[in-house]
Amino acid sequence: MYDVLFCDALVVDGSGREPYRANVATVSSSIALIGKERPRARRVVDCHGRALMPGFIDIHAHDEAYALGDGHMALKRAQGITSSLSGNCGIGVFPLVDDGSSLSALADDVLGHIRRPWPWKDFPGYVDVLKRHGMGINMGFLQAHSPLRHAVMGSDVDRTASPEEIEAMCRLLDSSLSCGAFGFSTGLYYRPCISAGRDELRALLSVVSKHDAIFSVHLRSEGDQVLEALEEVLSLSLETGARLELSHFKVIGSRNQDKVPRALELVHSYKDRGLDVAFDQYPYDYGSTSLFSLLPPWMLTLSRTELRFALQLDSERSEAKKEILDPDGWESIYALEGPGEIRILHLDSRDDLDGLSLEELGERSSSDPLDALFDVLSEERGAAVMSDVTQSRESLEAIMADDLMCFSTDALYSSIPGHERSHSAAIELLSNYCLKRGVLTLPDCVRRMSGEPARRLGLKERGILREGAQADLVLLDLDTLSSVWTDGRNPGVDLVLVNGQVVLEEGRVLDVDPGVLLLPSRQGSC
């Protein structure tokens, strides 16, 4: 007897083929039958008027802390995401040389707080903790760059690494990849990765290439110097043979929107030269990151205590203002977007300011927006998260329609629910850009959310709805589907299965955690 039988479903199978009607049955964790017959099953779901799809795969996630805080990972399930890849932007939680203190400043703002001491030292240790806690969805991981620098260089991470230090980082990366990490990520915009030179990146990417792994990168610039930043990583990847995944691909700033066609042309030119390259994207023209990231790099090398003191000194404020408004050697989001386009999403210490733009913050305190920002950050002892308008709708759609795009959320869980992408990104792409605006067809949209990220990661039994594949499934009512977050749910998301188990039904999160650790097909012995 089958476990679950979906009757008369509109099957959108993740391959890109046209939808078709069929009955689909599961046994244990697998899809066992797709056809016209109607066998006996323990549960029968009448799918008339609804679409059955593979579970969505978030190829750019930051779930390390969220998974330990909310084992059910309700906000992922709420949008039909059944698998994710974390460790992006060079921000991660392993390996460790201390109790987690060295990584917590950036990790807390992006990933969310994990109470210290962190009870692991390396990738296998973190996975052991995660498995004991329980996984609400399937999870895979990248080895992030920032922990490698901290592990090898100690507190002196904001400089060029020596050849010996680079070699030590390569050994740690090799270990994580041998133990099942899908690849390596860096965030060349963030400290301490911003200090990495070409020799360091080339050496690390040679290790990535040896393992046929993925190189995921947040570019050094997504604004004025985006073309130069693209050239940097494209040329390095071609030189080393590393497979390249460009993270949350976009071009920031109104004055830079004319660079989008040239950026896409540049990526495709390297594709034509034989580079295995693609990019991911979240379906919003506004992003989210740490509010502290607006500060000059030298300020971010300070401890939070030192930073609070520096932000209270007129001389330091004056120097920081000059650098923010006229940056040299780094990218100032404030200068690119302006105070009206940057909004406080969450402050641990001042929830009364949530939702204010920096322009409104300045007006409220009768001061310059940067002075008002410095005042807030000088008092903040916890997480500070912002949202910012990054690009035009036309640019977003041009990137979305490109053949190399696949879906991601880039969701942060340091504040919940936070940015809409934390709970509704998949549904926003489907309901708004696919069904309403027609930027993508339904079969192609679902392929980019399931089959394509699975192919990129080598997940042969996921991301596709076929007999023998894993039963990660999403049942949607396309007529009522909406990304308008209502009472803790996305309307139209009727049923979600992870490895054959129902984990969400009509917005209700079930008390089961059937997620497993995802491993690349080339995984060796650890």
Model pLDDT, residue 365: 87
Q: Which of 253, 221, 247, 343 is nearest to 289 (CA)?
A: 343
CB 35 within 8 A of CB 23: yes
Q: Are 370 and 254 in the same domain?
A: no
* pLDDT for the residue numbered 415: 73
268 and 309 share one domain? no
Calpha distance 204→436 (Å, rounded): 43
Cα-based angle 509, 511, 514 (whole degrees, multiple of 5): 100
Identify whether 418 is part of a domain.
yes
119 plus 16 within the same structural domain: no
User: Measured in Å, how far apart are the chain's first and last C-alpha atoms?
Assistant: 39
| Cβ 87 vs Cβ 116: under 8 Å | no
Cα(242)–Cα(216) distance, integer angstroms: 10
Would you give the DSSP letter of residue 339?
G
> What was the pLDDT predicted at 523?
62
Residues 277 and 416 in one domain: yes
DSSP string covering 436-484:
IT-SS-HHHHHHHHTHHHHHHHT-TTSSS-STTSB--EEEE-TTT---S
CB-CB neighbours of 228 under 10 Å: 11
> Quick one: which H or E segment has residue 420?
none
Quick one: pLDDT at residue 383? 82
The pLDDT assigned to 525 comes to: 59
**Residues 21 and 128 reside in one and the same domain:** no
Please report the pLDDT score of residue 438 as a whole number.
Answer: 98
417 and 368 fall within a common domain: no
Helices 369-379 and 314-325 meet at what angle, rounded to 10? 120
**Do residues 267 and 401 share a domain?**
yes
Q: Do residues 210 and 359 both lie within one domain?
A: no
Contact 216, 183 (CB under 8 A): yes
pTM above 0.85, yes or no: yes
Q: Are residues 38 and 110 in the same domain?
A: no
Separation between Cα atoms, residue 516 and residue 494, nearest integer Å: 23
List of residues 6+ apart from 244 with CB closer than 8 A? 214, 215, 217, 233, 234, 237, 275, 276, 277, 278
The string of pLDDT tens digits covering residues 180-215 is 999 999 999 998 999 999 999 999 999 999 999 999
pLDDT at 456: 97
Q: What is the pLDDT of residue 417?
A: 66
pLDDT in the model for residue 159: 95
The reply to whether 360 and 215 lie within a common domain is no
Looking at residue 329, what is its pLDDT?
A: 83
Look at residue 515 and tell me if it is in a domain.
no
Q: What is the C-alpha to C-alpha distance for residues 102 and 116, in angstroms, rounded to an integer?
A: 11
Residue ranges of the chain with per-residue pLDDT less than 70: 416-417, 523-525
Return the biggest CA–CA distance within the chain: 77
Are residues 195 and 147 part of one domain? yes
The parent domain of residue 323 ranges over 296-389
